[in-house]
Each structure stands twice: as C-alpha cells, then as structure tokens.
A and B are shown apart, each in its own frame.
Chain A
C-alpha cells in the first residue's frame, strides 16, 4: 500500500475533563477528498487545529508526507504544504482581496526578509495573486477591501489564500458555513474542480456537499472515529445513522 499523505494516529486532546480528541485515527491519501462529519462538539475543529499546528495534542502522532509534525510549529507546517481555511472567516480586514492574496503568494515564495523592493508593485507577487483570485471567482473584486466583500466572497477568498500556498493538503473547516444555496453551490463547484489536484480534509455539515465531494468519509463522535469508509458504506452504517445522520434527517 502507498504511504498516506497524512496519518493521524491515536491523537488525544483534553480540555479539562472533556476529550475533544479521544484517540483519533485517520489517514488521507494524496489527492483524496476525505470528509470528516459528526455532530457539533465532536472535535472536528480541534482535529483541524491539531493537524495545522494551532493546538498541540496531548498524545498521539501526526505524520505528514513522511515527517512527524506532531509538535512542529504552525508556520513550518504551512510552508511544508498544509494549508487551511477557517470556519469563521479569518482574513486581513484592512487589506484588499488582492493584497491578501499577494501576502499568501509572498509567504509561499519563502521568507519575507526583503526590505527594499516595493511589494505592492511586484509583478512576481501580483500576477500569481490575480490568478488565484480568478480561480476562486474574485478576479473582478481584486481592489475591494476585504471588509467590503460579501460573505460568500470572503469564504471564496479563504479558499483562495489556502490555494495560493500551493498546498498538498487543504484543511477545510466548514467552507460552506453561513452560505446561502447559491453561494454554497458555487463553493461545491469550486471544490469539485480542485479534486484530484490536491488532497482535502473537509469538515462540513452540508451533507449534499459531503456526499458529492468526498472520496471517503470518517464519522467523528465525542472525539472518536466511529466509522470510516466510502460514502455509500458510511451512509449504510447503522451506528452512524443512530449517532448522526438519523438525528440530522
């Protein structure tokens, strides 16, 4: 078997008496779209935070591309090819969409200890940043300050910033959060277009999106993966129905 791109093994994270991750095991292959679903409070966002490095697990191992990153600093993980989008939009509010994307491009190109050349006019930042914006449907909104973008546009930019890093694994924390049906459909289309080119860990409540996009699904309940498999297998799993799908339907 091919070594998975990301392996999460026995990860535990406790907040006081509550185990947000209670021995999570997960493996994501290169190029795979792997959805993690589960009820509120199941530990989905905690899991993303542990993989991206915002939180350090109490126990367990996280291996990305053959390297143990369990305790590595978050910026280094980002540079190694792990990019994330946030559940609550997390952009640089006073920058324009283009400036946000240019900062991401600049981060991808290596360290920013360059003190002289004007960054705003640098075509080696501007051109790839414009490409990224076009890819997420914001080509015409480049000069708009992020604060003035519509919610759906901000969500798209979230994905754009992650894509700008040219990651090998995208950690998507509820990309459809708070979206109307039109924006959600657009987002599904965008993510569908990315399938195969980049591996994705998709945390999402929108079951239409999950069953349409995911190659595999893991169900997380109270910090434990209770089922994992192909969408039709998970859909048929009795325990999953009881724990989650039944309750949502």
Chain B
C-alpha cells in the first residue's frame, strides 16, 4: 500500500512521539530506569538539535558553538541552585534569559562574518565560555557542580523521573510545533530566501542580518532551555557540557537526521545517542563503527534519515 506523500511525515512524527511516550511504560514494566534517563537525555539533545536546525538548516549558518548555550543554560540552573534558589521557574527562566543574551551578543558579532569565519568565530566563543567555566573555582571549576535538588513546578515533582520525562517530552513537542510555525511564517521565508540567495534577498529589500540574528537568538534560547533541562536531569553541571566535541555532536545529529527538516534532527539525536550506547557496550572503539555509518547516511540520504523516512519532497 502506498501512503500518500503528505501523510507520511505526519504519521512518522506521531509514531516517533508515540514511541517516546511509551518509554516510561517500558522502563516501568521491565524495571529498567536506565532507559528513562537515556531517553530523557536523548530528548534534551533532540531539543538542542532542533534549535540548531533553525540556524543551520533554515538560515545556512553553521554554528560550531551551540554547546555554549547548553552550558549557559545548565550553569544558570547550577549556580542558582548553589545559591539556594529552589524555584524551578526562576532557575529555568534565568537560564532562558541568560542564553538569549549570550546568543544575542555572540550572534551580533559572529554574523558580521560568513562561511568558514562564521564557523570559527562561533567555535571560539564557545571555547571562551568553556574555559570561563573551568576557571570558575567557586562553582567547581573543572570538577563541575552538583545540584542538590531538582525541585518542583506546581504539582510536577521533577525528582520523579517519570514526571520529569514527560515534561521534557511536552517541551520537545511544543518546541517542534513552534519551530514549524516559525519556519513556515513570513520570517521563516525571509530567512530561507536569504540562505539560498542572499543577493536576491537584498535586492528585494530584505536585510539578511536582522533575520539571521533573530533566528540565532531564538535558537540559542531554545538550546539554553535544553541546557537547563540537562542540568536538572543529571543534577550536575560541568564545563564538559560546553566542550567543542559536544557542539560537533549536535551538528552530526542535525546532518544525520536531515537538515532543514526539524523532525529529522530529533531522529538524528535518537539514532546517534542510542547507537553510541549500544556500540559502546560492544567495543571501546565504537567510533570506528559509527563513523562509517555517518558517512553512508550523508552520502546516500540527501535529506538525512528524515528524507528517507518521510519521502523526499523535493525529489
């Protein structure tokens, strides 16, 4: 039976979120709390990957420093917790505002450049924040900073793994919906038009810089939320959240899943992190297996795994 091209992506999204929603059930039935934590982490990285896709896929901006916003969000939560701020809305709210501010600054400077220079300057900013975190001896420096309590939001107790899991799932679904609206809006069209042909966009009166900067800030903000969730989930923050390899991993998730597809990066996060988990139990040289898989996907699936799952719309 042929499923129509319009229905296939929708079915795939529902299937994906259906499966993610069943993880706590599975983990509860078979008494495997490990899966609950693993997939909560997967969804947090999926959130980061969706945020990166906004700038990378739709804006053509290859940010090689998105781990910075994960770190800023995480450290906001960690530092507030250290100083006894137990309110989760305040912790997460500050995390979001702080990452937005950092993204505004980094974006405003980095977007003066393009291409390879943009990649390098975003990397450089992320490295600066990494070493800043290392130098913060009061907050654990290299060793990181444990968080005593995850806290509560209204009736939701985040210390309960299942409740935290479903909250993350809802945030991921909400972000995906919002991102779809944004890329389909006038803003998204202007952003994408400027990605494909900057000269034409300018000739039409669209000043690309402003649109790119706003996209960059939206992206950094969402990624900062992911960082706050990561700190909450692990009850820990450390400079390693901002390592440049982490930025690379998020790029791999986007490319693997399919750039400019939004749902693709979620698949990319699931596949990358689950494969990593499975392969790491087989051999310590798991990168030797993962590497070729990535190369094959990039070579043969033009729009990543999502293009293959949802059917390639652009033929």
Contact = CB atoms under 8 A, between A and B. Distances in A.
Interface of A: 52, 54, 73-76, 78-79, 83-84, 86, 90-95, 99, 102-104, 106-108, 112-120, 122, 125, 145, 161-162, 165
Contact of B202 (A74, A99, A103, A118): A74
Interface string B163-194: 00000000000000000011011111110010
Given A75-B205, A75-B207, A119 B200 contact: no
Contact of B207 (A73, A116, A118): A73
A86 B185 contact: no
Contact of B190 (A79, A106, A145): A106
B235 to A, nearest CB: 34
Contacts of B203: 52, 74, 78, 83-84, 86, 90, 161-162
Contacts of A125: 186
B199 interface: yes
Given A74-B203, A94-B314, A106-B190, 9 more contacts: A54-B202, A78-B203, A86-B199, A90-B197, A93-B196, A103-B201, A112-B190, A119-B189, A145-B314
B271 to A, nearest CB: 26
A113 B187 contact: yes
Contact of A93 (B184, B197, B202, B204): B197
B181 A116 contact: yes
Given A112-B211, A118-B184, A118-B185, A104 B190 contact: no
A112 B196 contact: no
Nearest to B260: A94
B294 interface: no
A102 B189 contact: yes
B206 A115 contact: no
Nearest to A121: B184
A92 B202 CA distance: 12
Interface residues of B, number: 24
B312 to A, nearest CB: 13
Contact of B205 (A90, A108, A114, A145): A108
A117 B186 contact: yes
B119 interface: no
Nearest to B190: A112
B54 to A, nearest CB: 12
A52 B200 CA distance: 12
Contacts of A108: 204-205
B158 to A, nearest CB: 29
Interface of B: 181-182, 184-190, 193, 196-197, 199-207, 211, 214, 314
Contacts, number: 98
B196 A107 contact: no
A91 B314 CA distance: 17
A165 B184 contact: no
Contacts of B196: 92-95
A71 to B, nearest CB: 15
A92 B197 CA distance: 6
Contact of A103 (B199, B204, B314): B204
Interface centre among B182, B186, B187, B197 (most CB of A within 10 A): B186
Contacts of B207: 73, 75-76
A115 B185 contact: yes
Contacts of B206: 75, 103, 107, 112
Contacts of A76: 205, 207
B208 to A, nearest CB: 8
A122 B186 CA distance: 10
A92 B193 contact: yes
Given A90-B199, A93-B197, A94-B196, A78 B186 contact: no
A114 B187 contact: yes
Nearest to B314: A94
A119 B188 contact: yes
Contacts of A120: 184, 189
Nearest to B205: A78
Nearest to B191: A112
A119 B185 contact: yes
Contacts of B187: 112-115
A78 B207 CA distance: 10
Contacts of B214: 113
A54 B201 CA distance: 12
